[in-house]
Amino acid sequence: MALTVDVTVHTIRRLPIAGGPMLPRLDLDDHRPGLIDLIGSTIRDRSLLILVGAVLGAIIGTFTSAGVVAATLLGAAAGFAVGMVRSQAIGLSLGPYRADHVETPEVLGETLRVLEYNVHGGMGGPGKFFATPRTLDHLAATIRAAEADIVLLQELDDFALRSTMTDTLGQLVKRLHPTSAVMTPAAEKVYGRREGTGILTFSGITISDARGLRIPDAFGEKTSRRFRSAVAMWSGIVSGWFGRRRRMFASSTEYQPRAVTDALICTPTGNRIRVLSGHFSSPHDGVDEPVRQVAPMLETVPAWSGPTIVGADFNVRDGSAEFDREHEMFTEVELSEATAGAPPNSDRVYASAHFDALRPQKLPPPDGEPPASDHSPVVVELRLR
């Protein structure tokens, strides 16, 4: 199971990728969506075709002997089939051509404020579910107050039941009016839900190229594996509603691939900076996830010799053995922690030697104000030499 490149990024229609300078080519395979991925993306993105098919089927069933219910279902199935064909055509896209070697221009001095933040799907603080206009307003206000130029985000939801089918990226764009915005999903669910990482830029900074670096699930990507994981999760949830804790396929762990948003940004000053936003798993079930997930991402760092910023929710606490190994891995590719000195956190920012790190901070909510997420944002100023 190896790292793959996913070119199917999620953007907001009025904020497309700006184009221009491109990321370096990586010697990795392209991600190929499976059947569940295609079903999910069809339900989410082609629902209008399914609805049109159902309406046409109902009309035909009304005036023929086919029966309204049967014709409606057949019409919906036809619309779904057409949507599947379109989704598959999009999913098989190989993406833009990228040169084997990318020249990096001279670096000009400037200071950039970088925010790293796991936003919990816009649902609010620990244990909260369902995103509402109020929780999204609060989340946007928290990001706005940090006055960051580059915002690295995790747990962006789209079409998820837990966050009221909200497109978190789209709702933040609506409230914050960034210069650029992108999300890269980790995986599709069969009903259309996707969750991933993303980047917002402000202050005239644009995203000229973006892709996802997809890390597969530790226990496989087969449909049967994903089915058992989903049944185990939902059976536990439903049985809990009735005061019981019974899970079918109880030994099946959660299906949890991860994604890193890999983007090239261009500042108004003329600097080109590679920025990566990741979300990684803590060790579980005998799997050393920090090594399995972080190391392959870091192997792509030397492909770009210019300024580089990596921010992530590492799900590893300061001072642990995994934290020490994490630092060692980043040191090997000449990146150092820019948020060192901020209060302990699982969210951290690393930067290449092009930068001096200034004033790292963890931003807890003001006294008396509830948190906007189950994580606190971390911010640091990075000064390009």
pLDDT reported for residue 63: 76
pLDDT of residue 153: 98
With 0-12 / 13-18 / 19 or more C-beta atoms within 10 angstroms meaning exposed / middle / buried, residue 7 is middle
Per-residue model confidence (pLDDT) at position 82: 63
Angle at 354 between CA 348 and CA 356, to 5 degrees: 60
> What is the model's pLDDT at position 56?
72
Distance CA 234, CA 240 (A): 10
Angle at 110 between CA 332 and CA 26, to 5 degrees: 40
What ranges in 92-208 are assigned the alpha helix state H? 133-146, 168-176
Give the residue among 326, 196, 289 at the shortest CA–CA distance from 1: 289
pLDDT of residue 88: 55
Low-confidence ranges of the chain (pLDDT < 70): 1, 48-49, 52-54, 57, 65-66, 68, 71, 73, 75-94
Residue 60 has what pLDDT? 81
Extended strands (E) in 159-218:
180-188, 194-201, 206-215
Which token pair is 242?
A: 């009735």
Name the DSSP class of 127.
T
Q: Cβ(42)–Cβ(100) under 8 Å?
A: no
* pLDDT computed for residue 196 by the predictor: 97
- pLDDT at position 180 is 98
Domains of the chain: 4-31+106-221+257-384 (3.60.10.10), 35-91 (no CATH)
CA distance 378 to 363: 6
Q: End-to-end alpha-carbon separation of the chain, Å?
A: 39
What's the CA gap between 23 and 186, in Å, rounded?
Answer: 20
Query: What is the β-pairing status of strands 110-118 and 150-158?
Result: parallel
pLDDT of residue 54: 65
